[in-house]
Amino acid sequence: DTAVSQTPKYLVTQMGNDKSIKCEQNLGHDTMYWYKQDSKKFLKIMFSYNNKELIINETVPNRFSPKSPDKAHLNLHINSLELGDSAVYFCASSQGWQRNNYGYTFGSGTRLTVV
Amino acid sequence: GIQVEQSPPDLILQEGANSTLRCNFSDSVNNLQWFHQNPWGQLINLFYIPSGTKQNGRLSATTVATERYSLLYISSSQTTDSGVYFCAVTTSGTYKYIFGTGTRLKVLA
């Protein structure tokens, strides 16, 4: 069974469209994250939810909106897609988010290409 | 904010060789992890190691938190070890993992 699963794996879309990426974890973790990996492989956190509550919201355009219907799911909706949004988006989860959180488990990533 | 630098940035090894990857961080950390991103893009958790030494097969890691560095040792490297190795840390009060710059490893058969 996949621990952290993201869908879709690949997403190609035109500029201006709205798209969503879904993430689900079956590890029983209470904290979930979205990271963006750019073309130079640099990984940067975007958002984090703990028990459905937003706890981290980095400097991300407000076209990006996370939604957590329950602690096992964290979705990412992107409005008015731009060329610069092309990247690989990773979902991750952990048990706890403060000191000694025992580390992340990552999903397999969603490669978003905006044309 | 904290700076996380990894060295070397690129490394090419012959199969069977040993290597040491280094992660330096500019501030005290609460958590530290090492990840391997394989050529298919998957991020694999190697070690959760905020301090001390751990070993898992051919891989081992040591973190000296007081001196602000961590080392990842790969022994008897195999072609499947190729990919990018990241260390990631959290600091007190932030609790979000900040990733290092990565070491790109290529192991030749």
From chain A, the residues in CB contact with B35 under 8 A are 106
Do the chains contact at A99 and B92, CB–CB below 8 Å?
Answer: yes
Q: What share of chain B is helix, strand, coil (3-state, %, to 5)?
A: 5, 55, 40
Rounded CA-CA distance A18/A15 in Å is: 9
Contact assessment for residue B38 and residue B91, using Cβ atoms and an 8 Å cutoff: no
With a cut of 90, say whether residue B63 has pLDDT above it: yes
CB < 8 Å from A in window 52-91 of B = 84, 86, 88, 90
CB atoms under 10 Å from CB of B24, counted, come to 15
Do the chains contact at B45 and A106, CB–CB below 8 Å?
Answer: yes
Do the chains contact at B97 and A45, CB–CB below 8 Å?
Answer: yes
Contact assessment for residue B27 and residue B4, using Cβ atoms and an 8 Å cutoff: no
**What average pLDDT does this structure show over A61-86?**
95
Do the chains contact at A99 and B37, CB–CB below 8 Å?
Answer: no
Q: What percent of chain B has pLDDT over 90?
A: 86
CB atoms under 10 Å from CB of B38, counted, come to 13
From chain B, the residues in CB contact with A60 under 8 A are none
DSSP β-ladder status, B52-56 and B69-74: unpaired
Using CB atoms, which residue from B41, B44, B98 is nearest to A88? B41
State the maximum Cα–Cα separation within chain A, in Å, rounded to a whole number: 42
With a cut of 60, say whether residue A88 has pLDDT above it: yes
As given in the structure block, the two tokens for residue B30 are: 């609460």
Contact assessment for residue A19 and residue A85, using Cβ atoms and an 8 Å cutoff: no
Reported as a pLDDT band with limits 50, 70 and 90, residue B92 is: confident
* Single-letter amino acid, residue A105: T
Do the chains contact at B30 and A97, CB–CB below 8 Å?
Answer: no
For residue A107, the model assigns a pLDDT of: 95
Q: Which distant-in-sequence residues (6+ apart) come within 8 Å of A13 by Cβ?
A: A19, A81, A112, A113, A114, A115
